[in-house]
Amino acid sequence: MVTANALLHGDAARLLRFSPLEQPVALQLGGSDPGDLARAALLGEQAGYREINLNLGCPSGRVQGGNFGACLMNEPARVAACVSAMRSAVQIPVTVKCRIGIDGRDSEAELLDFIETIAAAGCRTFVIHARIAILKGLTPKQNREVPPLNHARVLRVKQVFPALETIINGGITSLGQAAELLRSVDGVMLGRAAYGNPWLLHEVDERFFGEAPATKTRLDYLEGFLPYIGEELRQGTPLRHITRHMLGLFKGQPGGKRFRRHLSTHGNRSDASLEVLLDAMALVA
């Protein structure tokens, strides 16, 4: 996620850089000015992104101060104008990620009205976090855990708007749970579950897309990842920006704690090289 202002007034080339190996990649934008968002969306399309997503779910105070994120659920007409402007600027899909509500606007009827307004502006895909965002009194971390889950409200969106693509997010911890939800919605987004245990994803292609069973081990995947990491290091990316996302790869496995501890301790050094990861891999080999 990057703000429209950061792209328009900062180093857009650096902020938008990604490896072709990462495709398909979506660019999530933060902002509330239709013109700025349209120009930022065009930069994203020109950089090769396959989708532009508007952030309507982040509850942080800093984000609220910039008048974007979850607080925009209070302004459906403004959001519709933003979506319309972005759609006019690009050929790739413009999607929305939102909550099921915010404090003071947290009923099912209000969510359905919100979805209807944004859909009328041309948005066909909604990624919905099945919790309200409490904008006053909770931290962003607490907003991912404290407000109760309400998956039924997201399923209701799909029932009322069957032609829209509805993707559910929030509190989904297993592929079995995902499969059950996919009987009622079009997609499932895994966040913290996959981040904390990336190995959760290794059966996804087999289970949901009919691919052959995965035979690679965790170390096999890391071996295949090494050329990408080496190129990123040459581009100036600190090792910690990569290794922090794989700390849970060996969760529950022999040597897993040593792997995590080694990366946490040595990967955070400013001069950390690929040798740090190779040494961590040796601890679980």
Considering the candidates 58, 71, 82, 123, report the single residue annotated as catalytic: 58
Task: Please count the other Cβ atoms lying within 10 Å of the Cβ belonging to residue 73.
Answer: 25
Contact 8, 59 (CB under 8 A): no
Q: CA–CA separation, 33 vs 43, rounded Å?
A: 16
Contact 105, 136 (CB under 8 A): no
| Sole residue written with tokens 């040597």 | 255
Contact residues for 220 (Cβ-Cβ < 8 A; gap 6+) = none
CA nearest to 58, candidates 156, 163, 191, 182? 191
Does 58 qualify as catalytic in the annotation?
yes
CA nearest to 148, candidates 127, 178, 171? 171
Q: How far apart, in Å, are the Cα atoms of 214 and each of 56, 178, 182, 199, 247?
A: 36, 19, 22, 11, 21
Please give the positions annotated as active site: 58
